[in-house]
Amino acid sequence: MKKEPPAATSPTTDARRIADQLKSVIEQSKERPLPKPASTEAAESIDEKLALFHTAALHSELISEQVFTRAVDIAKRRLKAGGSDGPVDAEAVAAALIQSGVITSYQAQQLRSGRSKLTLGPYLITDWIGQGGMGQVFKAVHRVMGRECAVKVLPLEKSTEESRASFMREIRLQAGLDHPQLVRAFDAGRDGNVHYLVTEYVPGTDLRKYVRRHGPLPVHQAASIISQAARGLQYAHELGLIHRDVKPGNILVTPDGVAKVSDVGLAAWSMGIHEDPRAGKIVGTADYLSPEQIRSPLMIGPASDIYSLGCTTYYVVTGKVPFPGGDSRSKCRRHCEQTPWHPRKFAPELPEEFVDAIADMMEKDPERRVASAADVADRLEPFARISDAAIDPPIRRQAWTAPPPPMENGVDEDHVGLDGRSGPNVEEDSVAGSASAESQGSTDTPPPVPGGDAAIDAADPMVGNSLSSLQTAPRPSHTLAIAITLALAVPVSLLIGAVLGFLAHEYWQF
């Protein structure tokens, strides 16, 4: 049986079929646009970050619309001067605002993250100083008086009944202190659920950071700083206060060489120590604890601060803590039972009389220690007025005949508190350089101001208006690109027939 040949199709039918296919392809291209180029996605990301920065800046009331626009223009000019025609990003605008003195680097970082809360009561937060066991410390300025200060904040996550009692106690203690060698308290307040203490801002750094950066101090400089700290402690002792956490990190030094003792809020009333919320616990840092602080925390007196100041003096002239290595428990045991290496082992130029003063401050028996902080200052002040002439008498003090330190792993300054499983409870509440400009050397990301709202979301309705002004122009249709592609892939004669058929089809529809 013969097969019948397929019915012939006319050229017009073929043209109409191809035209229908072409129309279908065009419609599908409208529904599924081509993928965005990488450069377009990057530009949109920059726009979103800039919009977030813009919204937070206006919401903070630190920057007006006019100032922000001016900063954008400056950033654009700088890009063009550098030979770039790319879009302006939030980082470039922030740099313009910082260099103009409108905001600080810390404020710019917070605003770019969408955080607009930069105040605590009447104080405008300008920088982050450090983090301690009891609170965060920020640099701030009073919005009316314009005075720079340090603001210590009790974090919300640590706002327990006991921590609030300790914090309020610290506020009351510091409010009654007024001495040039103590960090003064100016104000205290509450912003929502956030409690804060305002103290004077001390430019400079603390002794611990200074020694780590520059090495041990020469005798005259160490004697000047320690004798000043001793005068401040004597003032506190005369008021019946014991600091309990004297250490290099709590002695701030200005560029002019003025020393101030910080974190006096850890102090305890020597006549009413049982009323302290931390009574019965070891409060301080293991490398500088006195033997009596470890053995009987309820029986400490001014002599305990003198021992800690002796350990501090040892550190600043040698660059070593008295008992390096080991954990907190080991350090506590060695404070009670052992003697450290002779300081001249590490600093041979130290005068023996100066070394004797350190030894008398670090006597294990409080009764044999230097009688008062004032006596410490009297013994050290003469060394602050002499040059560092090398003195090399023989090492003869039995106070320094120490056995080698145990072979235990550990850092020099131990800030890890002990719990009941490993030894006495060492409770710490200190910020190294709590009002120091250089105390923010931590690599941690500076935290936001407590009590603020969550970071502004660029997808929120309140940000919508800002985002709408920064949307990119609508992209052109992809029809032309598809037509060109088909022209290259389809034979010319067939394409001409398809186009003619498509036009005829459109004409017949009308």
Mark the binding-site residues for ATP, compressed into ranges.
152
187 a catalytic residue? no
- What region, left, alpha or beta, does residue 284 occupy, with left being phi > 0 and alpha being psi -120 to 50 degrees? left
> Do 150 and 138 touch, CB atoms closer than 8 A?
yes
Distance CA 140, CA 352 (A): 45
Distance CA 494, CA 510 (A): 25
Which of 136, 263, 110 lies closest to 196 in space, CA to CA?
A: 136
User: Which residue among 206, 245, 263, 276 is the active-site one?
Assistant: 245
Count of all residues that appear for the chain in the document? 510
| Collapsed DSSP state (helix, strand, coil) of residue 483 | helix
Which amino acid, residue 326? G
Strands (E) across 192-267 are located at 194-200, 205-206, 241-242, 251-253, 259-261
Strand-pair partners of 199: 150, 185
Annotated binding site: 152
Distance CA 21, CA 146 (A): 74
> Do 89 and 44 touch, CB atoms closer than 8 A?
no
Residue 139 CB: number of other CB atoms within 10 A? 24
Pair of tokens at residue 174:
């510091």
- C-alpha distance from residue 433 to each of 15, 232, 382, 436 (Å): 85, 16, 27, 5
Q: Give the residue numbers marked as catalytic.
A: 245
